[in-house]
Amino acid sequence: MYFCKWNVDTRMRKRFFQFAIVLLLLCTLYACSSDDDRDPFEPARNYQHTVLVYISGENRLSSFINEEINEMKTGSKAISDDDALIVYVDDANSQNKPYLARITDGELTDQHYFLEDSLSSDPNVMLHVLNYVSHRYPAEDYGLVLWGHGSGWLKEDSLVYDNGSRRGYGVDNGTNSYSDVGTWINIPTLANILRDWGHPLRFILGDCCFFQCIETAYELKDVADYVIGSPAEIPGVGAPYNTIVPAMFSPSTTFYEEIVNKYYEQTLSVKSNDGWSNYTARVTLSVIKSSELESLAQATTNILVTLDPIQGEQLSNELLYYGLYYYMPEGRLVDTFLDMNDYFLHKAHTSAYEKWLEAFNRAVVYRVYDKWETYTLSYSVFSRLSDERYGGVSMYIPQQRTNTQFYNVCADYIKCFKWYKAAGLDILGW
């Protein structure tokens, strides 16, 4: 059985209990080591922008955290004192407890430590962190960076050996080790947490793999104005926060372009999967405007009904895709994240595609690409990239109607997402 929601329905809580939750959190979870004698229950002041970087690093990515924090310290020197850059950190070092801190003028300040190690993938922990941040650093608007592992919309409970995981974002192994086997926050749960928090976000930046899929963006459309991320894998070093941080606080109406451009300017040395060549590459990224997603869903419904039925073809043989998923029980790679623009470009009639493309371009307001070879993406795939084909957003397309466990699981779990009905996938029997 597949569950799309976490079992504690926090939406039943009344809004006036949220402050009490914050007080309880501070009293039970934190040992305060503030730089002054201010009451930790009271906000110091109001800010223009508050951005929380949520680092779920109790896993194999833990070794990158210190460098990321140092980059944020550098970037913080370029932002105003009217802006608040807050970081939540949970790493794999058993000597370190999770903590919250403000990074300002190159220094960690206002540090508050958890008394016990807690799962960053626990919905209650994330909600407590969000409540604390909005109470302690109230602002006119907020931003959220999700740092850690990601697997798009996929849910893995029954697919691999880490039973009980809720795959999507994060992973916390709960053992202070460098293992990636642990619990996750699935995307519908993430949307519920942010909805219960009740502070609409200016943006969500997914600094994690496979974040920019249409299923995730549609799930988050009511809690964030813009969703920023990569449809493919990203490197362990993540975003260059020394340049990204100032962009996150930009007053420009097209601040998201600044974020993407600064990320894209980071060049990385890559060794190709064939083991013979090295090259430099940039991360493939895009930006989705949430207010246009309803129109895109309707346009997708309209174009899907014009397509011929899928006959079990393996679409990655010809189309642009962003990742292969290694399915352990069957011991094979299966393609999962197809570029939705490239799919409709090749599968729909020209007139239907051009009408759909208008809605797509209104929703996907910015995108950049480069050759990008990763663990699951080979040269033969990124050589297909072009302005016409690249959309920068993936979409799940069922490619087999055979009785395999992986596709049966996908067929069940995709129904947990609002995109499934909004885009008319239920009409097609997907």
- Residue 54 in contact with residue 171, Cβ under 8 Å? no
Percent of the chain's residues with pLDDT above 70:
75
> Does residue 406 share a domain with residue 332?
yes
Least confident of 11-15, 205-209, 253-257, 275-279: 11-15
- Residue 170 in contact with residue 235, Cβ under 8 Å? no
**Amino acid 299: pLDDT:** 98
Pick the closest to residue 185 from 56, 62, 96 (CA basis).
56
Residue where a domain terminates, one of 247, 281, 315: 281
Q: Give domain status of residue 59, yes or no.
A: yes
- Residue 360 in contact with residue 389, Cβ under 8 Å? no
Least confident of 89-93, 357-361, 388-392, 400-404: 400-404
Residue 162: pLDDT over 60:
no
Q: Give domain status of residue 430, yes or no.
A: no
Cβ contacts of 408 within 8 Å, gap of 6 or more: none
Pick the closest to residue 233 from 149, 116, 335 (CA basis).
149
Residue 336: pLDDT over 50:
yes
Band (167; pLDDT cuts 50, 70, 90):
confident
Residue 51: pLDDT over 90:
yes
Instruction: Quote the tokens at residue 50.
Output: 């508050």
Question: Between these two residues, 429 and 54, which has the higher pLDDT value?
Answer: 54
Structural domain span for residue 37? 10-281
Q: Give domain status of residue 4, yes or no.
A: no
> Does residue 254 share a domain with residue 123?
yes
> Does residue 243 share a domain with residue 188?
yes
Angle between helices 123-136 and 18-29 (to 10 degrees): 100
**Amino acid 356: pLDDT:** 98
CATH number of the domain bearing residue 37: 3.40.50.11970
Band (34; pLDDT cuts 50, 70, 90):
very low
Residue 5: pLDDT over 60:
no
Q: What is the DSSP letter of 349?
A: -
Give the mean pLDDT of 18-33: 46
**H or E element in which residue 169 lies:** strand 169-172
**Amino acid 274: pLDDT:** 57
Counts of helices then strands in the chain (DSSP H, E): 13, 19
- Residue 405 in contact with residue 330, Cβ under 8 Å? yes
Write the pLDDT tens digit of every residue in 55-76: 999 999 999 999 999 999 999 9
Least confident of 5-9, 81-85, 96-100, 407-411: 5-9
Instruction: Quote the tokens at residue 114.
Output: 């958890």
- Residue 395 in contact with residue 352, Cβ under 8 Å? no
Give the mean pLDDT of 120-145: 96
Band (4; pLDDT cuts 50, 70, 90):
very low
CA–chain centroid gap for 416, Å, is 18
Q: Alpha-carbon distance 242 to 262, whole Å?
A: 9
> Does residue 136 share a domain with residue 95?
yes
Cβ contacts of 18 within 8 Å, gap of 6 or more: 131, 198
> Does residue 178 share a domain with residue 264?
yes
Q: Give domain status of residue 286, yes or no.
A: no
3-state secondary structure of 77: coil
Residue 386: pLDDT over 80:
yes
Amino acid (1-letter code) at residue 351: S
| Strand 324-327 relative to strand 332-335, pairing | antiparallel
> Does residue 173 share a domain with residue 38?
yes
Question: Between these two residues, 7 and 97, which has the higher pLDDT value?
Answer: 97
Q: Give domain status of residue 292, yes or no.
A: no
Question: Between these two residues, 234 and 213, which has the higher pLDDT value?
Answer: 213
> Does residue 38 share a domain with residue 168?
yes
Task: Decide: pTM greater than 0.85.
Answer: yes
Phi and psi angles of residue 152, each rounded to the nearest 5 degrees, phi first: 65, -135
Q: Give domain status of residue 428, yes or no.
A: no
Rounded mean pLDDT of the chain? 83
Band (394; pLDDT cuts 50, 70, 90):
very high
**How many CA atoms does the CB half-sphere of 270 hold within 13 Å?**
24
Band (82; pLDDT cuts 50, 70, 90):
very high
> Does residue 272 share a domain with residue 309?
no
Residue 28: pLDDT over 90:
no
Residue indicated by tokens 């799962």: 119
For the stretch 216-245, what's the b/e string if a residue is b when 16 or more beta carbons lie within 10 angstroms of its beta carbon? Answer: bbbbbbebbbbbbbbbbbbbeebbbbbbbb
Residue where a domain terminates, one of 218, 250, 281: 281
- Residue 325 in contact with residue 153, Cβ under 8 Å? no
Torsion sign (Cα): 345, 347, 349, 353: negative
Least confident of 31-45, 54-68, 231-245: 31-45
Within 10 Å of residue 57's Cβ, how many Cβ atoms? 26
Q: Alpha-carbon distance 408 to 338, whole Å?
A: 18
Residue where a domain terminates, one of 226, 253, 281: 281
Q: Report the range out of 134-148, 334-348, 410-424 with the highest average pLDDT.
A: 134-148
> Does residue 265 share a domain with residue 322?
no
Q: What is the DSSP letter of 111?
A: E
> Does residue 357 share a domain with residue 273?
no
Cβ contacts of 312 within 8 Å, gap of 6 or more: 399, 400, 401, 402
Torsion sign (Cα): 75, 79, 81, 82: negative
Least confident of 18-32, 282-296, 409-423: 18-32
CA–chain centroid gap for 359, Å, is 23
Q: Give domain status of residue 125, yes or no.
A: yes
- Residue 371 in contact with residue 321, Cβ under 8 Å? no
Give the mean pLDDT of 317-333: 65
Q: Give domain status of residue 3, yes or no.
A: no
Band (337; pLDDT cuts 50, 70, 90):
confident
Give the mean pLDDT of 362-387: 80
Domain count, the chain: 2
Q: Alpha-carbon distance 213 to 229, whole Å?
A: 9
Residue 9: pLDDT over 50:
no
> Does residue 314 share a domain with residue 266?
no
**Amino acid 195: pLDDT:** 97
> Does residue 273 share a domain with residue 415?
no
